Structure 1
C-alpha cells in the first residue's frame, strides 16, 4: 500500500515499523465527538491494551452500550467509533488504531487482522451498540482488513444488524478481500431474511466473486439451500451462469456429496428438491463444464438415484461422454466408496433401463471387486447379459466375510459361471434387446402384469438364475 505525500507530511526520518508509520500519518488528534467523521483525516493512535483501549474492546465484545457510549463521550481517551483494532495477537490486544479517513484501510502486512467497533457489533449481533456507533457517524463501509461490517453481519446471520447497516447507507455490492459480496456470504438461520434485505437495498443478484466467478445462486446450490435458490430466482438470477470452471448451479447441485452415511438420505432429498427447482425454472439439463461433464455424470458419481431419474425424465442422453470418454454408467461404477450409502444399484438400474451401453465384459471382474459389498449392483449388471461373463477364478475377488454375509447371492453367481442362464432370463434379454432403442418408453406401455413388467425392468431378487 502506498501513501500520498500529504499523508506522510512531517516525516523527517526513514519509515520505522508499521506502528510508528501509522502513528505519524496524521498530525492532530481528534476530540472524540460525534462530529469527528466530518473533520477529514484524523489521527491513528497506537497504544497498549492496559488502558481505555482494552476497556473499549471488552465493552464492544460484551455489547455494553452504556459503557461504549461513556467511552466515546470521553474526549480524553482518544477513542472514536472508527477506531481500528489490530487483533493479530489474541493474547494481548496490542494495537489500537483510530482512523476516520473515507478510504478503506488495508492490512499493511499479511499477519494483521484489523477490525473496527462496527465490525465487532455487527458480527456479534449487538444491535444497540451498532445503532450507537452509527449515530456517532461510524462509517458503515470501512473495511480495514478487506471486509465491511455488512459482510460480518451477513456471515453471522444477524438480519437486524444487516437492516440497520443498509438503512445507514452500507453498500451491498462492495466485495471483500476474497472478492465476495455480502450476498455471497449469507449464512445462519436468518439466511433468507438477510438475502432478501440485501436484494431490496440494491444488491446485484448475479454479482460475481473475484476468483471463482460464482454468483449467489452457485453458493445456494453448494449449500443445498432450496429456499435461498428460490428467492434468488424470483429476483431474476441467471439459471445457467457459469463460474470460472464452467459449472452452472445445476452442475453444483448434482455434485452434492454426503458427509456421512447418516447424512445420505437428507442430502439426497435436498439435492432432489434443488435440482427439481432449477430444472422447472428452465435450467439446461445438459449443460457441460470445461471437461464436458454433465449433470447426469455428476449425479451418478454421487449416487443420487432420484436425481438421476429426474434428469432422465427430462430427456438427457444416457450415453453421452465427457472428454475422457466416460458415460454416466462409468461414473456410477467409478464413484467413491461413500456412494454405497446411496444404494448405487438404483442408479445403475435406472441407467440400464434407459438404454445405457452395458459394461465391457472384460471389465466385469474389476467391477465385481469394487462393488462386491453391494450385491444388488452386481445383480442388475449381470442380468443384462445372456451368458455369465466371469472367469471361474473371480470368486477370489470377493472377501470371505462378504461371501458369507451374502452367501445366497454369491453362491448363485459363481454357480452360473459354469451353467447356462434360465430360459426365463434369456427371454427377458431377448425382449430388452428388441426394444433397446425405445426401452424406457415402450416397456411401461406393454399390456403386462405388474410382476412381469417389474421383472423386465430388472427388479431385484437377490439371486441369479
Structure 2
C-alpha cells in the first residue's frame, strides 16, 4: 500500500519530464520500471505531452523506448492529432515517418488534417496532404477541413485545400476551380457539358450524407461576382444547405461583400437561414465588423434578435469582436442592449470579459445595465470566465477543448 503514492509520484514526475523535454530524466524513470504508457487523468501520456510542446528529441526517445504510437486520449486523440493541433510541424513529420495514421479520427471525428486546418497551420496541412491525409473525412457534425477553414477565414489554408483537390486520386470538380478563379468562360463550358451547377466535390461528401460546398459557396468566399451570377443564371441553388448549414449568404456576409450579398438576396437567398449552430447571416456580418452588410440585411428584414444555440444575438457578436460601429448600428435598429444568452450574459459581459474597454463605455453610455448578473451556476452570481469563454467560442473550439 505504501508503494502506491510512490508509484503515483513517479508517474507524475515522468509525465512532467516528458512535457518539459527532459529526456534524461524520462529515460531514468523508464529504467527504474515506470510504465512508459502511463497517462494523466485526461488520458495524455508522455508522447502526447511531448508532441504538444514540440520536443522532437523526447518524441523520438519515447518511441525508441517502446511507447505505443497510436495510443489515444480519452477524447480519442493520438499524438499526431495533438501535434497537428499545436502546429508542431517537425513532430508531425517524425510521427508520420514513424508510421502514425494520418487519417485517424477522434471520438468526434476530428482528423489531424482537420485540426491543423482549423488552427491555420498551413505547413502542417501541406505536409499531411502530401503524406496521404484524406480531406473528405467529415466530423460527426459534418464539417470537413475545407469547411472549417472557410468558416474561420483561413485564406491560405482554403487555397491549399482547394488546389490540392485538383491533384491525385481525389479530384475537386473543375467547376469549383473555375468559381475560385472567377473564370466565367471555363465555367460556361463546363456547364454546357454538365448542366449541374450544384455539383458537390468528392472531397466534400461521403456516400452517406452530403456535407460539401457547391461552386456558389466557393464564388461567395472569393467574392467572385461574375461567376456567381453565371452559376445562379444556370440554376444554382442560392439556398443550398450542406450538413453544417452554411449557405452562400452566410459566407458572403462574413466576407463583407455587399454586391455579393445583394445578388444572393435579389435571387432568393433566405435572409434568416441558420447554420447547425443557428448562426444567421446577420450574426456573421456582426462578428466580422461589416456595418454596411448589417445595414443591408436589416433593411431587408433580417431578424435582429436571432439567437444561436447558446443564445448569442448579433449584438453579442459585435461586442465580442469590438466592432463599435456595428453595435451602434444594431442599436439604431432597436437591438436590445441588455439582451441575454442562455446564461444571462449581456453584450456588456462580453465586452468586459474580452477587455474591450471602449466597447464597454459605448454600451454603458447607451444605457446598458452595469449591474447585470449572469446565471452561470447556482452558487455564483458572477460569470465564470471558463464557462463564458466556451460559450462565446462555441463555433471555434480552442485547442484545449479538442484534447
TM-score, normalising length: structure 1: 0.43
Q: Who wins on radius of gyration, i.e. which is larger?
A: 1
